[in-house]
Structure 1
C-alpha cells in the first residue's frame, strides 16, 4: 500500500513538472551557410521569414559566413492546429508596388518570405514594376517536412564565381548608376557587368570590368565609394544568380545621354530611365 501511494505521488509530481516547464522552440532542421548565401536567399529557400531566422539564431545583423550552421524554425510545429479542424483560407491583403520596391523589401515589410509572395502572385521571377498590385498572404505557409538536403540540392548556382567583395563592389556600382531606378533597372545594370565578365571582349573579373578605364562614370567621380543600398545589394544578388532582364546586353546608358556610340547600338531593353544595348 505504501509503495502504491508513493507511486501515485511520483506520477502527480511528474505531471506538475511537465506543466511548469517552459515550452522549447521547435526547429525543422539545420542549414549550413555556403558561399553566396544571404538571409534573403535562405529565407527564399526555406520560406521562413528573415526575422524568424534571425530570432531563432540570436542574430543582431544580417551578416553570415560560409560554414555557419543556422537553426531553421518549424512554424507548423510551433503553432499546432487541432487535427479535426478544417483549414481556413489564409487571410490576404493587397499592396501596390512603389518605385524602388523589391520583393525582398515588400516581404520584409509584411514579415513573410519572398518565396511566399511569389507563390501568392504566381510570379516566375522577382521582377516587379511600380503600380503593380500584389496579393500579400498574412500567414506564410510552407511544406510540412522540409529537408536540409533538398534545400541544398535546389539552391541555384551563381552565373559566375564571386566573393563578398565582388558583391559589395557590384552593388555599389548599381547604387551609383541606378539607385533611384526601379528594381528591374538595377538588376539589369548588374547583369551588364556580369555579361561583360562572361564575354571575351572585356576583362574576366567583376573588379576589372568595373575599374576598366573610361567605362563607368561613378569610378571617375568617386560615387563608386558610396555604400550600397539594400535594393542594390538584392539586385546584384539577383544578377549574380542568373537573372538578366536584358538577355545579354553589354552596355547601358540613361535616356539623357548624347553619346553617339551608345546611341548607335541595338537596344536590348528599357527600364525606367535606363537603356540597355547589345554590341554591334
Structure 2
C-alpha cells in the first residue's frame, strides 16, 4: 500500500497542477467582458461595428451592448457563445494584443492608406481593410517584396499606381483601414490577390482559388 502511494501521489500532484494551469489560462484568455475598459475594448467594438454586429458607438467600455454584439459574432463564427472575448474570439476578430503596443511606421501607414484609397475608394470599410491586408500579406510571402513600398510599387502590381490614383485626394477612411491592416486585421482571409470581376480581363487572375467576396472585389490565393 505504501508503495502504491509513493507511485501514484506524484502522478496525482502533476494532474492537479496541470488542471490548475489550464484553469488559469482560461481565466487569462477571458480577459475582456462586461466591465472591461481600455484600447483593446474599443478595438473589439470597432471590428464588430465594421462587421455589422455592433450598433453603438465604439468607446473603451465593455457594456451589455458589446456583450450582445460579441455573442452574435461568436454564434456566426461557430465559437463558444458566452459574450466573453478570449483568445479565440480575438483571433477571429483579427486582433493581436501583442501588436497593439507596436505602432506601424508612419510612412507605411501613409503609403498603404494611399494605395487603399486608390484601389478601394467607395468600397465598404471592411473591403478597404481587406485590400490593405492583401498588401501586408504580400510582404510576408517570399514571392513578393518584403516592404510595403516594395509591394505597392512592384511593376504592374496595382492599377492605382499605374493610373495615378494612388495620388488622389484621401477619403476619410483609408488611413484608419491602413492602421487596422498593419495591426493584424485580415478580412481577406489570407488573400494575396484581389480583383474586380467587372473590370478585370486577366484570365490568369480568374484562375486563382477564391477565398471570399467583399463589395466589388474578389479575394483569392
Q: Work out whether the TM-score is over 0.5.
A: yes
Change in Cα spacing, 1:103 to 1:176, as seen in structure 2 (3 Å) is farther
Partner of 1:137: none
2:210 pairs, out of 240, 244, 267, with 267
| Structure 2 counterpart SS, 1:252 | strand
What does the per-residue CA deviation read over 1:85-142, in whole Å, with 9 as the maximum and x for residues that have no partner? xxxxxxxxxxxx8xx99999x73xxxx5176587254238x9xxxxxxxxxxxxxxxx
1:150-169 equivalences under 5 Å are 155-157=97-99, 162-169=104-111
CA distance in 1, matches of 2:209, 2:188: 12
CA distance in 2, matches of 1:221, 1:193: 18
2:39 pairs, out of 40, 44, 61, with 44
Compare the two structures and name the one with the higher helix fraction: 2
CA distance in 2, matches of 1:204, 1:119: 37
Structure of higher CA gyration radius? 1
Shift of the alpha carbon at 1:178? 1.0
Change in Cα spacing, 1:115 to 1:211, as seen in structure 2 (3 Å) is farther
User: Does structure 1 residue 231 correspond to structure 2 residue 173?
Assistant: yes
CA distance in 2, matches of 1:229, 1:115: 28
CA distance in 1, matches of 2:170, 2:38: 21
User: TM (normalized to structure 2)?
Assistant: 0.59
User: TM (normalized to structure 1)?
Assistant: 0.47
Partner of 1:172: 114
CA distance in 2, matches of 1:167, 1:182: 19
1:1-280 equivalences under 5 Å are 44-45=39-40, 107=57, 113=59, 116=62, 119-123=66-70, 155-157=97-99, 162-256=104-198, 257-278=200-221
Gaps of 5+ in 2: 1-36, 43-48, 74-95
Tell me if the contact between 1:246 and 1:268 (Cα under 8 Å) persists in the aligned partners. Answer: yes
CA distance in 2, matches of 1:113, 1:103: 15
| Structure 2 counterpart SS, 1:200 | coil
Off by >3 Å, runs of 4+ in structure 1: 42-47, 100-104, 114-118
Tell me if the contact between 1:170 and 1:236 (Cα under 8 Å) persists in the aligned partners. Answer: yes
User: How many residues are treated as equivalent by the alignment?
Assistant: 154
Change in Cα spacing, 1:103 to 1:216, as seen in structure 2 (3 Å) is farther
Shift of the alpha carbon at 1:167? 0.3
What does the per-residue CA deviation read over 1:137-191, in whole Å, with 9 as the maximum and x for residues that have no partner? xxxxxxxxxxxxxxxxx95416x98410110110111111111111121111001
Tell me if the contact between 1:167 and 1:236 (Cα under 8 Å) persists in the aligned partners. Answer: yes
Shift of the alpha carbon at 1:226? 2.2
Shift of the alpha carbon at 1:223? 1.1
Tell me if the contact between 1:101 and 1:182 (Cα under 8 Å) persists in the aligned partners. Answer: no
Change in Cα spacing, 1:162 to 1:255, as seen in structure 2 (3 Å) is same
Cα RMSD (Å): 3.5
| Structure 2 counterpart SS, 1:157 | helix
Gaps of 5+ in 1: 1-41, 48-96, 127-153
Shift of the alpha carbon at 1:233? 1.4
